[in-house]
Structures are given as C-alpha cells and as structure tokens.
A and B are shown apart, each in its own frame.
Chain A
Amino acid sequence: MSGKKHITMTVNGEAQEFLAEPRELLIHTLRERLNITGPHIGCETSHCGACTVTLDGKSVKSCTVFVAQADGADITTIEGLGNPDSLHVLQEAFKEHHGLQCGFCTPGMITRASKLLEENPSPTEEEVRFGMAGNICRCTGYQNIVKSILAAATEMNAAKEAAE
C-alpha cells in the first residue's frame, strides 16, 4: 500500500511537480524537497507557528498538513513576500522596530501578519495580539512584534492612499 503520489502545487508563484508519500508533512516538502527553508520547524507539534505558510488564502501550520492535502494548492512562504534586495513592508518594519532578536520565529510571524493585515488592514493593538496568538516567540516579549505590525499597517495604508 501507500505508494508515492503525484503532487502538483504552486509555491511562491512557481509551479512544482513531484512524487511523494502522502504522509510527508508540508513543512518537510518545503524545506527538504524544494529547498524553501524560510518556514522553520520549532515545535513540530502544532503549537509554535514557526512553520506558518499561506495555503489557498489561509494561514496554516505546515507541520500539521500532509503534502497530499496540499495537492493542487497555492502556497506562499516568507520567500514569496520579499527578498534581501526588496524587503516586504513587514520585513522593513520588523527591522526598523526591533521586531526580532534571534529571528527564528520571524518568517512565521511575518507570513501570518501579512494575512492578518490583508483581512484587517487597520487592526487595533488588541486585534494584532489576538490575530498573532498562534505564533510563539522566545526572545522579544512580543511588544516590538506588535509595534512592527502596527507600523507596517500604517505604512501600507498610506501607500494605498497615495496610489489612489
């Protein structure tokens, strides 16, 4: 039983196609098969959010999704949001407001925050804290993470207004 399955998915805008055992966890597909190592493995038990990616418009913990479930899915990781030459507004804000220390949680934080701001472009501080509750950070005490996300929201709204 349980042979390999033919899987197709789009990751950060690029079509991918491969054979995998259905039980492979999406985080391992991304990191080990596709060399997309932005999403991290913190707890591997669905608690820390370091492995967060956007899957068909939902923030999900990729350590708790089988690759077979993601067959046909459209996935965005931190690599799809920005790069060293052109940082995403959230990446810029985390840098500016000291939203990270060791940086281990940061890809999950920013990927989750990008979805949060898409759904709620002008969140209150409380809404940011509630919306980020699935992501754990051992270093920062969260204060500067919240500050960074609020600053990014202001920045993104100003840019939107300027464009109109």
Chain B
Amino acid sequence: MIPAAFEYHRPKDLEGVLSVLVEHGDDARVLAGGHSLIPMMKLRMADVEHLIDLQDVAGMSGIAVDGGSVRIGAMTTQNDIITSDALAGAAPIMHEAALQIADPQVRYMGTVGGNVANGDPGNDMPGLMQCLDATFTLVGPDGERTVAAREFYEAAYMTDRDDAEVLTAVSFAAQAGGYAYEKQKRKIGDYATAAAAVLLTKEGGVCTSASIAMTNLSDTPIWSEAAGAALAGTSVDDAAISAAVGAMLGDIDPTEDNRGPIEFKRHAASVVLGRAIARAWSRA
C-alpha cells in the first residue's frame, strides 16, 4: 500500500505553511501526526499533491493553563495530554478521553489539531470540544480568527475551516465540577460505536448546569442542549437521567454500518450517556 507521489514541504514557520497552501489551493494539505491522513493516502482515498509537514513549525504545540483558561497548541499529541499534570487539574475530562483514543503508538503521533480538524464523525475530540464549549483558532492568509467548536462542524469531513487555513490551537475554560467521557467500542483502538462527554456542576445536592455531547452518532458531533437542560435543576435521580437520555435520543441521527444497526446504536448511546451522567455526578 504505497500512496501516490507527492511533493513534501517541511516549513519552519506558519508563513511558510500558508505560502504553500495559497500557492497550491486544494492540491495541498497539512500533515500533523498523519494517523488519519496517511492511512487514507495509502488507500488512495486522499489524493495530496503537496504535503506540508507541520512538525517543525515553531509555537504550535504545548499546553498552557493560565488561571481559568486552557490553551492547547494544535500539534500537541494525545500522549502529551495524557502526561500533562496541568491539564489533569484543569480539565481531567481531556485525560479520561485521550486514554480512550486509539492505542499507545497512535497516541504518540496523533495530535489534537488533526483530531479536531479532520472532520471524521468517529474522532473523539470534536465531541469533547462541543461539551467544553471550546474555541478553535485558525490562521489563514487574511490573518487570525476564532470559531466556536459548536459552529465548526458542517457534515462528515466538512468544516468551517477554509482550505488555506491552519488550525493552530483549541482553547476552553478550566473546569470545576463533575466530568466523564464514556465510550463504547468493539475493541481497543477502535472508533466509538457511541461515546458521551458530560460536564456538570452541583450545589447543595442540585445540578446547576450540565453540558452533554455525543460522538459518532450523526455525521457531525452532537452537542445536545436539551439533554443538558433536562439535568439542570434536578437532583440527577433516575427520572432526570431518563429525561436527559430521551432528549439526547431526539438529537442524534445514527446510520447503520459495520458497528451495528440504528436501533443498536441508539441503545448504546443511551447506555453510555446514562453511565457518563452517573459518573460525572458522583465526581461533582
């Protein structure tokens, strides 16, 4: 399985990346960890004439926790997330989710930026970014802009990112309260059959706010505002959890594939969300 020939670029700064992107348009693609793109190129499902390796671009990786805000450079790997003490304190859900992505070898290479920019509904980070209400920073020939993760995904492999833009970082507020990332998969290293990300806060036995997002159950990640609203103001008892699961089922739209028929996926989605809410509540 050898991919088609391409020209390889390894610029040292963002200007270098942008100049190749501008010159070659959609014949050019950036390469981060390569663990989504290279398999597609080997299968000749992705045709890339100009490959721009981001590994030497200065300032694109690293985790910065500054008071209440967290900024993760696009080239930060899943393994960096797992081993970051700062992030374990500021957003432990990132740690819990990263441990459920792929396998150790893939996590050394796969990056946060690649995972969120890829647009594959199977990727775990996009749903997580919905749950965290993250912001993506994009840099293009016309300068820098930010876009809300909840506005970024349009359809499978279609995002708000322009062909000539590079995603440089994801940012979100540090989290207090309960959290859980629960994923059903066929085996380690598999994409989700269904996954749920839950963040919630608790005061005097009452849930004061909740954010819920689902992965691989539609052609985009799904942030279910209604599911979160169903928990707010309750004591997160069985009735509230059922109401949240019911609301979530109204927002997802799974399709049948080799991970199972639609009814099974809806069942798996209900189970993972129920578990995630219970775990998040127990940690709140």
Where the two chains meet, the residues of A that have a C-beta atom closer than 8 Å to any C-beta of B are: 1-2, 5, 21-25, 44-47, 49, 52, 58-61, 64-66, 68-69, 71, 112, 116, 130-134
Q: Is B35 an interface residue (CB 8 A)?
A: yes
A2's nearest neighbour on chain B, judged by CB, is B5
Contacts of A23 in B (CB 8 A): 2-6, 41
A1's nearest neighbour on chain B, judged by CB, is B7
B39 and A22 within 8 A (CB)? no
Binds A, one of B67-75, B99-107, B143-151, B200-208: B99-107
For the complex, what is the distance from the CA of A5 to the CA of B8, rounded to whole Å? 9
Contacts of B51 in A (CB 8 A): 22, 66
Contact with A along B1-16 (1 / 0, CB 8 A): 1111111101000000
Given contacts A61-B106, A134-B103, contact A1 B5 (CB under 8 A): yes
A2 and B108 within 8 A (CB)? no
Contacts of B42 in A (CB 8 A): 25, 44-45
Given contacts A22-B51, A45-B39, A47-B189, contact A68 B105 (CB under 8 A): no
For the complex, what is the distance from the CA of A68 to the CA of B2, rounded to whole Å? 14
Q: How many residues belonging to B are interface residues under a CB distance threshold of 8 Å?
A: 30
Contacts of A1 in B (CB 8 A): 5-7, 49
For the complex, what is the distance from the CA of A2 to the CA of B50, rounded to whole Å? 9
For the complex, what is the distance from the CA of A1 to the CA of B34, rounded to whole Å? 21
Q: Is B109 an interface residue (CB 8 A)?
A: yes
B191 to chain A, nearest CB (A): 12
B104 and A46 within 8 A (CB)? no
A45 and B1 within 8 A (CB)? yes
B79 and A69 within 8 A (CB)? no
For the complex, what is the distance from the CA of A142 to the CA of B106, rounded to whole Å? 20
B188 and A60 within 8 A (CB)? no
Contacts of A2 in B (CB 8 A): 5-8
Contacts of B8 in A (CB 8 A): 2, 5, 22, 66, 68
A131 and B104 within 8 A (CB)? yes
For the complex, what is the distance from the CA of A2 to the CA of B49, rounded to whole Å? 9
Contacts of A52 in B (CB 8 A): 105
Contacts of A24 in B (CB 8 A): 2
B31 and A133 within 8 A (CB)? no
Contacts of B133 in A (CB 8 A): none
Q: Top 5 nearest A-B pairs by Cβ distance?
A: A134-B103, A22-B8, A58-B108, A2-B5, A134-B105
B83 to chain A, nearest CB (A): 9
For the complex, what is the distance from the CA of A132 to the CA of B105, rounded to whole Å? 9
